[in-house]
Structure 1
Amino acid sequence: MLFYGGANPRAAVAELGLPPGDPVEAELYVDRDLRYVEGVSMPVRPVLPALTRIASRPDVTESVVVWARIANAVDDDKFDDLDRIAAELPAEGHSVPHSEGHVWTAKALVGAFVESFTELLRSDSGLNLRLITAQHSDPGEVRVNADLRKYQAHGIAWLEAAAEGGAGVILADDMGLGKTLQSIGLLVRRAGNGPHLVVCPTSLVGNWQREIARFAPQLTVHLHHGPSRSRVADPLTETDVVVTSYSIALRDLKLLRSIAFDTIVIDEAQAIKNHRSRTAGAVRDLTGRVRVALTGTPVENHLAELWSISEFVNPGLLGGQADFKRRFADPIEIGRDPVSAAVLRARIDPVVLRRMKEDVAADLPPKIEAVVACTMTDEQAGLYKEAIREAFDEGLGDGITRRGRVLKLLTRLKQICNHPAQYVGEGGGGLAERSGKLDRVTEMLTEVVDEGAKALIFTQYRQMGELLSRHLHDELGVAAPFLHGGLDQPARDRLVDEFQTVEGPAILLVSLRAGGTGLNLTGASHVVHYDRWWNPAVEDQATDRAHRIGQTRTVHVHKLVTAGSLEERVDELLARKRAIADAVVGSGEDWLGELDDSQLRKLIELDDDGGHL
């Protein structure tokens, strides 16, 4: 698509909030007069979302207004309106000489516009074929300080082909395979086209800064984060890469939208899995020529999450949300329909690249997983039964009230399984011999420390993390620092850096929310899930902080469950939730709120056959 006019077309394009394009000199045939103009050329797909926003601006030309209305019609699937709108295009809006020796008519040019926008929908289109081919192509020299594995080089070639073709993409490689490195490779190849933007969770802002400095020190980085961050655009436009967090992107949306970025990379893209969230809306509103989403879990719970991420990279590719639910989500999730899954896979194959460790990194050390059943103490068993009895005596209600009360009960039971002190407070006694789980993890970590190895311990509760930190320090005589959301970014970075050194602490406690994604913690050869996050994708992400490229030892994963309790029974159900994600490229605890009293009792009541101390 060509934009021209004014003394500085590139500045005009940026002021309109359109993505940056390539400067070109083009011919126009208006009023029987052939003239040459300087303008900006860009692919149709990335420009369409930006065009839809400027139809009502009073400071744009008539042809821009009409093209914006055309973009809105395409975006709303109102293709029947296009001939009528095309008839309103003035000559300067379509009179470009065709390569076959004639001048484009308005109707023909609008048809070409639609064909270009819908190219990804046609499996045999040239763009789709180029993308599929690029997934196994050599990109040539990539100026990064790393020995690229073959699959990483192929990933960069694919990212570059998508960027050149105007297609957004989702890089969904298994966790630990180097998605960050591959995306940095793309930024290096596109350096000089304008500033790039990386949006990531707060916990990964410092990690991105370090990884760019490590792999591509020739790129300048501006960290747009913290209370002293810039309130004007100049520092952001004078750098190669801007790194910011999702929360800051939402807060500073007006500033960031004023900048025409070349490439926008969103890391841990499941952060926008809820398409109704303000964060998802803010990210979709950013202006960029190339859009890349990175995620190791394109589907955590529901296919609607895949739709939301796809809507960021390729608006409209999977249809509207209601249409996607009818055509794909319901048949696959409810009906387990293999035909619908195959159709969806074919649609996304060119623009979603997912490689698994076992397929492309056979030399990565193995990962050995084990469920460790821990026996309750009498104190735990008494509190557990009492919590269930009180909940059912009071009644759980129905509807939203019931769901809230069930989730409250589940939280209490999980806290009791962790340690009575998390549920009733520490009291005057110590922590030892009051929780089978705590005693077992203490024994395990004693062996880890004695053998000179390192371990990560994940918990979803900050209070439990603090209890563990003090207890392990007192019992084992070693430091057991705790990385959690209450720490500022420099403190988190310092904990990670220290743990990765040989002389650093042997144990690092990590809040699953604060450190379960993105971090590189290959210093650990043991991973302990002290309590269970009932979503296998979240647990896998946490495990792969250690089991990733750079790991040279076998990683032992220990998942603690309390025998005879709801933890053990839910663990048996977790494997079923992997099926949806595997079918196309899974819910938290909400489903438990839908169980009736009899079903819920069967799931949570203590099985005394498991025994207790």
Structure 2
Amino acid sequence: MRPTALQVTFCPDPDPSEPGVLVWWGPPDPAEAARRRGLPEGAPGRLRCVVPEDDRLTVTHLPVRLVPLDQGLPALTSLAVGRQSSDSLRAWRTAGLIAMGHRDGSQLDRLAELLPPAANPISRDGETVWRPGPLLRTFLRDTHRTFARPHGRPDRLREVPAAAPAEVRVSATLRPYQLEGVGWLRAIAAARTGGVLADDMGLGKTLQTIALLAGRPGDRPHLVVCPTSVVGNWARELHRFAPGLPVVRHHGTDRATGGAFPAGSVVVTSYSLLLRDITMLADQDWDVAVMDEAQQIKNHTSQTAKAARRIPAAVRLALTGTPVENRLTELWSIMDYTNPGLLGTTKAFAKRFAEPVEQRGDTGAAGRLRELVAPYLLRRLKADVATDLPAKQESIVACSLTSEQASLYRTAVSRAWDTGFGAGIERHGRILKLLTELKQICNHPAQHLKQDGPLRGRSGKLDRATEMLAEAVSEGAQSLVFTQYRVMGELLARHLAERLALPEVPFLHGGVRQPDRDVMVARFQNGDDPPPILIVSLKAGGTGLNLTAASHVLHYDRWWNPAVEDQATDRAHRIGQDKPVDVYKLVTGGTLEERIADLLERKRSIAEAITGTGEDWITRLDDAELRKLVLLSEAEVAE
């Protein structure tokens, strides 16, 4: 009885000096079944296999697909296996992980005992049955030999040539580093594996990805999942750079609820709809699946990350300027989407990399991790490759507390210490509550007290921001103002419009409908009478938007993570900017804001060991360290 599930085995070469091949077989069309799983297609052939039949072992002559070892192994080891996977596929995936050093080699003998009959071939001369032990040892020998060759190592993905300008099918002139990125993406796609394009903000990850999509065969649709705020931007960029690609906006109440998407089309949807429509989206056979702003799937236990891993695609890509924001497990989660199994299980990853690097600063472990992910993660920094960008000048602007702010600040700190912080999750929550209170007090007493006003004269930070923005408006410059709080954004919009005699100061936040958001961005960028100030919620507008009309960026309140602030700043300082960009970070002197301004720059080391980003740290401080961080310095209070 012929198996219907996709089977895989390893066939040694008759010539011991040559590596063997991986073989997919079983269903009526094994090549199609393998392709749907994201596995490589090889040359057709026939092979004698030992297969179960009527509870006996028999020799059967079956059609197969022969795949060279160095082509098939990365796809096999990155394949996510589920309950529908055959025992032979599970067994050889485990063998591949052992061979590549991602599993304990001592498991090999146990695997030999459990190797199912369907995973055992007969030699090509048809005379000798390979028993499990020798077969697995030959597989390990061939794997190590193959991947020690220059052409067989995964590093070859970083040695591919740049794409030739004449071969790139987009309506744009790509910079040299972008052509290199397109060449790398094509190599990832040709290997039928996954990759993380982690270029610095503003270097054109979207354009490079569109160049890849535009050059694909077009026999299946592509999927792009992004934050709601950039669904419209993706659609516009696709129409602009690749007008020949059909675009389907899977968004809104009139979106498709069933059936297949057109072959060759690019389906753009949001993370919220990925969750809502996961059953339909996971049933589609995608060519390239792209997770934009992939920090959205950095928590591997989240429903969003689990949904992303369910999407079947020949090629999986993740785009993010911050593959690590807080902890190395975020990198694991993103890589587990693009290359399942590459970094092992979460427990193994924590023991092998996360704990040594984060807790002990182990540079050796960091180096090994960097080497492991390097073929599948491409990251270029703006300072290294985009030297033609105008200068970015960053400044810390000190502000004073008013007496009202100082009184509220002292009260909040005293109350927190009188109550205590507790331990565990309770401590974490209470520290975050205190930090939020203090930041809101530094912003404006009205925000902390939930008041509509009055606003003028009660906050040193608001007064300073008003002065700076008034100067920018008088110069005819446009400014972005970032705040993480919607309430503060609304207070700022009303106050600045009144004080600077402006018709309105628009505020882009998560509650703005997508069509209105698109109009707001277009008016600021290209309007006949653009508003001189655009207030942006850090979460709603800190990623994916092009706001190069601005030459001033003002961070009204500080984020706990420098990577998030850098993302927001790069809405203005990115490709297309033709003016110098001045970045101002408002800091209230004598408070936690001033001390965090110093600490933030010193807490980037863990993530920079791998990709050059920042990390979360503040709730891990003990009471003494926390007290030094938040205690008010009375000399900084304005009289």
Whether TM exceeds 0.5 here: the answer is yes
For the structure 1 residues 132 and 362, does the alpha-carbon distance in structure 2 shift closer, same or farther, using more than 3 Å as the test?
same
Q: Distance in 2 between matches of 1:342 and 1:321?
A: 19
8 Å contact 2:177–2:385 — kept in the other structure?
A: yes
CA deviation string 1:396-439 (max 9, x = no partner): 33333232222212111111110111011336x53111111111
Does structure 1 residue 345 correspond to structure 2 residue 370?
Answer: yes
Identity of aligned residues (%): 49
Q: Number of matched residues?
A: 597
Unaligned runs of 5+ in 2: 1-21, 50-57
Cα drift, residue 487 of structure 1: 1.5
Aligned to 2:222: 196
Aligned to 2:186: 160
CA deviation string 1:321-341 (max 9, x = no partner): 222222222222222222222
CA deviation string 1:476-496 (max 9, x = no partner): 122211111111221221211
Q: Secondary structure of the residue that 2:480 maps to in structure 1?
A: strand
- The aligned runs of 1:334-483 (5 Å cut-off) are 334-426=359-451, 430-478=454-502, 479-483=504-508
AA aligned to 1:379 is E
CA deviation string 1:326-379 (max 9, x = no partner): 222222222222222222222222211111111111110010000101111111
8 Å contact 2:247–2:268 — kept in the other structure?
A: yes
8 Å contact 2:293–2:319 — kept in the other structure?
A: yes
Q: 1:564 aligns with which of 566, 580, 590?
A: 590
Does structure 1 residue 249 correspond to structure 2 residue 274?
Answer: yes
Q: Distance in 1 between matches of 2:241 and 2:130?
A: 49
CA deviation string 1:422-463 (max 9, x = no partner): 011336x53111111111111111111111111111000000
For the structure 1 residues 318 and 124, does the alpha-carbon distance in structure 2 shift closer, same or farther, using more than 3 Å as the test?
farther
Q: Distance in 1 between matches of 2:591 and 2:145?
A: 53
For the structure 1 residues 35 and 335, does the alpha-carbon distance in structure 2 shift closer, same or farther, using more than 3 Å as the test?
closer
Does structure 1 residue 261 correspond to structure 2 residue 286?
Answer: yes
Cα drift, residue 73 of structure 1: 6.6
Aligned to 2:7: none
Q: 1:595 aligns with which of 597, 614, 622?
A: 622
AA aligned to 1:203 is S
AA aligned to 1:441 is A
Q: 1:52 aligns with which of 61, 66, 81?
A: 81
8 Å contact 1:138–1:153 — kept in the other structure?
A: yes
8 Å contact 1:375–1:437 — kept in the other structure?
A: yes
Cα drift, residue 133 of structure 1: 1.0
Unaligned runs of 5+ in 1: 57-63
Q: Distance in 2 between matches of 1:577 and 1:455?
A: 29
Aligned to 1:61: none
CA deviation string 1:158-178 (max 9, x = no partner): 111111123311111111001
For the structure 1 residues 29 and 438, does the alpha-carbon distance in structure 2 shift closer, same or farther, using more than 3 Å as the test?
same
Q: Secondary structure of the residue that 1:197 maps to in structure 2?
A: strand
Q: Distance in 2 between matches of 1:379 and 1:425?
A: 15
For the structure 1 residues 382 and 537, does the alpha-carbon distance in structure 2 shift closer, same or farther, using more than 3 Å as the test?
same
Q: Distance in 2 between matches of 1:115 and 1:241?
A: 42
8 Å contact 2:218–2:263 — kept in the other structure?
A: no
Cα drift, residue 233 of structure 1: 2.8
For the structure 1 residues 51 and 540, does the alpha-carbon distance in structure 2 shift closer, same or farther, using more than 3 Å as the test?
closer
AA aligned to 2:181 is G
AA aligned to 1:80 is D
CA deviation string 1:578-603 (max 9, x = no partner): 2222222277766336421x433322
Q: Secondary structure of the residue that 1:146 maps to in structure 2?
A: coil
AA aligned to 1:505 is P
Q: Distance in 2 between matches of 1:441 and 1:123?
A: 60
- The aligned runs of 1:521-600 (5 Å cut-off) are 521-585=547-611, 591-592=618-619, 594-596=621-623, 598-600=624-626
Q: Distance in 1 between matches of 2:585 and 2:179?
A: 35
8 Å contact 2:168–2:211 — kept in the other structure?
A: yes
Of 46-55 and 367-376, deviating more is 46-55
Cα RMSD after superposing both structures: 3.2
Aligned to 1:88: 117
* TM-score normalised by the chain length of structure 1: 0.88
Q: Distance in 2 between matches of 1:249 and 1:118?
A: 39
Aligned to 1:221: 247
Q: Secondary structure of the residue that 1:89 maps to in structure 2?
A: helix
- The aligned runs of 1:18-57 (5 Å cut-off) are 18-19=37-38, 25-28=44-47, 43-46=72-75, 52-55=81-84
8 Å contact 1:27–1:97 — kept in the other structure?
A: no
AA aligned to 1:595 is D
Cα drift, residue 304 of structure 1: 1.4
Cα drift, residue 393 of structure 1: 2.9
8 Å contact 2:604–2:615 — kept in the other structure?
A: no
CA deviation string 1:120-155 (max 9, x = no partner): 986956242421212656576110011000000001
AA aligned to 1:411 is T
8 Å contact 2:604–2:614 — kept in the other structure?
A: no
8 Å contact 1:86–1:106 — kept in the other structure?
A: no
Q: Secondary structure of the residue that 2:604 maps to in structure 1?
A: helix
8 Å contact 1:54–1:65 — kept in the other structure?
A: no
Q: Distance in 1 between matches of 2:405 and 2:281?
A: 52
AA aligned to 2:552 is H
Q: Distance in 1 between matches of 2:249 and 2:39?
A: 22
Q: Secondary structure of the residue that 2:159 maps to in structure 1?
A: helix
Q: 2:317 aligns with which of 292, 295, 307?
A: 292
AA aligned to 1:591 is I
Q: 1:328 aligns with which of 346, 350, 353?
A: 353
Q: Distance in 1 between matches of 2:341 and 2:614?
A: 26
Aligned to 2:54: none
CA deviation string 1:171-204 (max 9, x = no partner): 1111100111111111112141411111111212
* TM-score normalised by the chain length of structure 2: 0.85
Aligned to 1:66: 88
